[in-house]
A and B are shown apart, each in its own frame.
Chain A
Amino acid sequence: MMYQNSSTFSFKGGRYLVCLAVALIATLGAAFGFSYYGAAHGLVDHPYQVNYRFQLDKIERSRPIETLFVGDSSLGAMLDTEVWAQLSNRSALHLALTGSDGYAGSLNMARRSLDRLRPRNLVIVHTLDMMTRDVAYVGFLQTNPEPRDEVGIPLYSRVIERFQLYTSRELVVGTVRGLMGKALGTPPTQMGKEYILLPAISGAPTETGLSKPPILSEREINPRKITFLRQLGTLCRARTLNCIYAHGPLYDEVCRASQAYLHAVQRHILSTGIDLVEGTPVCVPRSELGDAIDHVKQDLKAHYTKRYYELIAPYLDADMSQGPPSAGVEGRTARAVGNAIASPARVRGDR
C-alpha cells in the first residue's frame, strides 16, 4: 500500500487554512448576528423563551403584591397563586422560569419586578438538585435586565457564554421559527394560566421508570452554584426584603435517599444569608407525581399550594430586624436543617 506522506502535498496548507478560517468566522458571524437580531427583536420562538416572555408579561400586567415567588419549574408546576391568595388573604404572584435558568433566572426576575411589584416577601423555590448543576451564566445573560451589569461573571465566561448563547442551535432555530410566523405575541397558552409547562416535558412518561430513583450525593454539589443565590441574598438585604428559600416538591424516594446531600445543600444556602423553610422539600408519593420527579400532578396544584402555604406562612411578613416570633434567625435556620433531615414532610393521602 502506498501512502503519500505530507511532504508530497500538492495543495497549499496556508491557503487552505485561511479559507477554512474565513468560512468558520463567516458562518459563526452570520449565526451570531442572526440570533442576536432575533433575541433583540423578540423573535425567538423557543419553549423556554415563550414561558420567559409570558412571565415578563405577567409583571407588566400586575399591580403591587404582598408575596412574590421566583424559582424553576418545580415551583411553576406546584403553585397556584389564587389558592395562595385565598389562604393568606394577601396577593401573590410567581415568576417561575426553568431549571436551566437556575438561580440567575430567579435573581433577574426579582431585579426586573421589585420596583413594580414592591413585594414584602420574596420566596425562592428551586428543585433540590439545583446545587449539582453548572452555574447558569447563559440563564443570567438571557434574563439580565441590565446588559451592562454583569457583576460576578468572569470575563472568560462572559465572552464564552455569550458566544455560546448567540451561536446556539436553539436560538438560531428559534429565530427562524419566529421569522416564519410562529413567534411570540401568540404564546401557546391561555391568559390567566400561570406557567407554561413545556410541551416536551408535559408529555414525558411519568408513572413508570421510578422504581430506582436517582440518589443525590454530597459530592455532586457545585460549590460555585451559589454565585447568583448570594447576589439574591445581597439584593434582599439591600431592599430589606423578607427572603425565604424553600426546596420544591420532590419524589419521596429521592428525598429519602438524599439526606446527606440535603444537609450539605442547606448549609450552602444558609451561607448566602437567605432563610430556609423547614420541612422542605415536600416529598411526593409516586402516584402524585406529574411529568417529572419534581413536578406534582397539575390537578393537585391546589393541594400542594396549601401544603407549602402551611410551611411557609410562619416565615411571612417577618420583621427582618427582629426575626420570626418563635425563634431568632439562627435558631430557626438550625431547626430548618435539623427537621428537614429528621423528617422530610410527607404528603400522602391527606387531602
Chain B
Amino acid sequence: MLFNSYQFLLVFLPITWGVFQLIAPLRSATLSTLWLVTASLAFYGYWNVAYVFLLLLSIAANFLISGVLSQVPETKRRRGKLLLAFGVAFNLGLLGYYKYANFLVDNINLATGLDAQIVQVVLPIGISFFTFQQIAYLVDVHRREAFEHDLPKFTLFVCFFPQLIAGPIVHHREMMPQFGRQRRSEILPDVAVGLTIFVIGLCKKVLIADTVAMPASAVFDAVATGAAPGFIDCWVAAFCYTFQIYFDFSGYSDMAIGLGRMFGIRLPANFASPYKATSIVDFWRRWHITLSRFLRDYLYIPLGGNLCGAKRRYANVFVTMLLGGIWHGAGWTFVLWGAMHGTLIVINQYWSAWRKRTARGTPRGGPLTEMLCRSLTFLTIVCTWVPFRASDLDTTFVIYAGMLDLGGSMGPVLVSPIADPTIALSRQVAGVPMQAIAILCGLPSLVWIVWRMPNTQEIMRWIGPATPTAGYALANSDDKSIAGPLWTGSLGWAALTGVLLALCLGKLNDVSEFIYFQF
C-alpha cells in the first residue's frame, strides 16, 4: 500500500488511527502495540500476503537469537560472537537469497558459460530495511546496549508501518521508549504537526518528484531500449532525476515522520538539505542519514574506522560505500555508484588531510567559495546519479557519452514532446513548446528550492519534528541564520496545508511508487 494512494489515505490511515485512539483510554500499552502491529502487518500484506510470513519469520528468528544472545555471560565472549555471527549470517542469508541470488547466478553463468538456473524470486518489499534494522539490533544486544523482552514491542519496532518499507532505519534505543507513551493532551497537536509534515512530504512526491520524473524516464527508458540521446537530453535527464530522487525519497521520509508523529512517535530525520552540501563528505552527512549512520556504526567502525592509519581508513571508507551501493540493489550499476562515491569521499578526505598537512587549513568560507564548492559538489552528485537510475551499464555509458557530447541523435527533450499527453505540454507558446518552457523554468526553480529554501525540519524547527542524529546535519530551533518560512501553527498554515493536500489528492489518479521501494 502506498502512502500516496486513496486506499491508504481514506481507508487504512483513518481506521488505524481511529482504533488506536479508541484503545488509548484503556491505558494498555500492550493493546495499543498489538493494534499497531496488526495494522502494520495488514499494510505490508496488502502488497503480498505471502511475504508477511517471511517478515514474521525474520522477526521471530531475531527475537529468539537476541534472547539467547542476551543470556550469554560476558565471560563467554567467543560464544556470544559466534551467536552474533550466526544471527547476522541468518539475516544476510535471507537478504542474499531474495535480493542477490539471481544476480549472482547470472554473473556466474556469464563468467563460466554455464546455464545454471534458480527459481526466480520476487524481492520482498522493504527487506533491505528491516534486515539492517535487525542486524543493528543484534549487534546492540551483543554490546549489551539493548534488549527487548516484549515480543509485540519488538515486532512493532521492526514493522511499524510508517518506516517499514523504506525507512528511516531506526535504532532500538530511539523507538522502544516511545511506544505507548502518547499523552491525551498531545493527541490533537501531534496529529496537526504530523499531518502538516505528511502533506509537505506528499507535495514533494506528488507535485514535484512525479513531474520531473517524466523527462528523466523518457530519456533513460529510451536509452535502455537502444536510443542514443544528445547532449541536452542527457543533461536534462540527469538533472531531472537528481531532483526526482531527492523529492521522492525525502518526501517519503517526511511522510513517514509525519505518520509516526500522528501516533505520538518521533522518527529520526533522514535528510538535511543534501544538495546544499559543500563537499561529498558533507553530502553524506545530509543524505539518507539513517543509512549513513548504520554504515558508520555497524560497518565502517567495526572495519577499523579511522583508527588504523590513513591508508586503512581510505580502504574502509571505500569498502563501506561500495557495500552501501550494493545494498541499494543487485546490479553492476549500484556497484559502480557505490565505488564512485567511495572514491570521491577518499579524494575528499585525502585533500582535506593534505591541506592540514601542508598547513593550508580549511579554505576560507566566503560566499563565493561556498557557492563554488556547493556547485561543484552538486554537479558531481548529478553525474553520480546516472548509474543509479540507469537500468544497466550500457545505458549508463550512453548517457555519459551524451553528457560529454560524444554522440547521440535523438531529438532534444526541449523540443520533442515526451511528457504525459494529458497535460498538453506539447502545446506551444510563441512557437516554443510548453515542455521546453516548463523545463527551462522548472530546473532553475528547483535548483533555487534545494539551495535556498529551508527543509522540512527547518520549517518545522519550532517543534522539532524528528529526532536528531549525533554527528549529522540537522537544523536546531536556536539557529537564527535559517531564512525562509517558519511553521507557527497558525490558521494560515492550516489553510495552506489543507489547500496543498487538496492539490495532491487531485493528482493521485496517476499514483506512482517510491523509488526506494525497490531497495
Min distance, Cβ A94 to any Cβ of chain B, angstroms: 20
CB atoms of A11 and B189 under 8 A apart: yes
Which residues of chain A have C-beta atoms less than 8 A from B186's C-beta?
6-7
Tell me whether A238 is interfacial, beta carbon within 8 Å: no
Judge whether B416 is part of the interface by a CB distance below 8 angstroms.
yes
Within 8 A of B (CB), among A1-37: 1-7, 9-28, 31
Asked if B227 lies at the interface with its beta carbon under 8 angstroms from chain A, I say yes
On whether A205 and B192 interact (CB within 8 A), knowing A11-B488, A11-B489, A20-B495, the answer reads no
Asked, given contacts A2-B476, A208-B409, whether A10 binds B489 with beta carbons under 8 Å apart, the answer is yes
Smallest CB separation, B257 vs chain A (Å): 13
Q: How long is the Cα–Cα vector from A346 to B373 in the complex, in angstroms?
A: 58
User: Nearest CB to that of A214 among chain B residues?
Assistant: B225
Residues of chain A lying within 8 A (CB to CB) of residue B425: 200
Q: Does residue B139 face the partner (Cβ distance < 8 Å to A)?
A: no
Q: Tell me how far the C-beta of A215 lies from the nearest C-beta in chain B, rounded to whole angstroms.
A: 12
- State A2–B190 Cα separation when bound (angstroms): 18
Q: Confirm or deny: B150 has a beta carbon within 8 angstroms of a beta carbon on chain A.
A: no
Q: What per-residue 1/0 map shows which CB atoms of B396-424 lie under 8 Å from chain A? A: 00000000000001110000111111111
Q: Would you call B462 and A4 a contact (CB within 8 A)?
A: yes
Contact status B464-A28, CB under 8 Å? no
**Does any Cβ of B come within 8 Å of A272's Cβ?**
no
CA distance A68 to B503 in the complex (A): 41
Contact of A7 (CB < 8 Å), options: B185, B462, B494, B502: B185
B506 at the interface (CB under 8 A from A): yes
Q: How far is the CA of A47 from the CA of B434 in the complex (A)?
A: 15
- A2 contacts B477, CB within 8 Å? yes
Q: Does A203 touch B at the CB level, under 8 Å? A: yes
Interface centre among A31, A168, A209, A213 (most CB of B within 10 A): A209
Q: Mark B25-61, 1 if CB is under 8 A from A, else 0.
A: 0000000000000000000000000000000000000
The 8 A CB mask of B116-132 against A (1 = contact, 0 = none) is 00000000000000000
Residues of B within 8 A of A211 (CB): 225-226
Count of interface residues, chain A, beta-carbon cutoff 8 Å: 55
What is the total of A-B residue contacts with beta carbons within 8 Å? 172
Contact of A208 among B185, B222, B490 (CB under 8 A): B222
| Cβ–Cβ < 8 Å partners of B193 in chain A | 6, 13
Interface centre among B10, B421, B425, B489 (most CB of A within 10 A): B421
Interface centre among A1, A24, A200 (most CB of B within 10 A): A200
- The reply to whether B498 and A19 contact each other, CB–CB distance below 8 Å, is yes
Indicate if A48 sits at the interface (CB-CB under 8 A): yes
With a CB–CB cut-off of 8 A, which chain B residues contact A10? 489
Given A9-B489, A203-B417, are A168 and B507 also a contact pair (CB < 8 Å)?
Answer: yes
Alpha-carbon distance A200/B218, docked complex (angstroms): 13
Residues of chain A at the chain B interface (Cβ within 8 Å): 1-7, 9-28, 31, 46-48, 138, 160, 164-165, 167-170, 172-173, 177, 198-201, 203-205, 208-213
8 tightest A-B CB contacts, nearest first: A23-B498, A211-B226, A3-B464, A11-B489, A13-B188, A27-B502, A200-B421, A19-B494
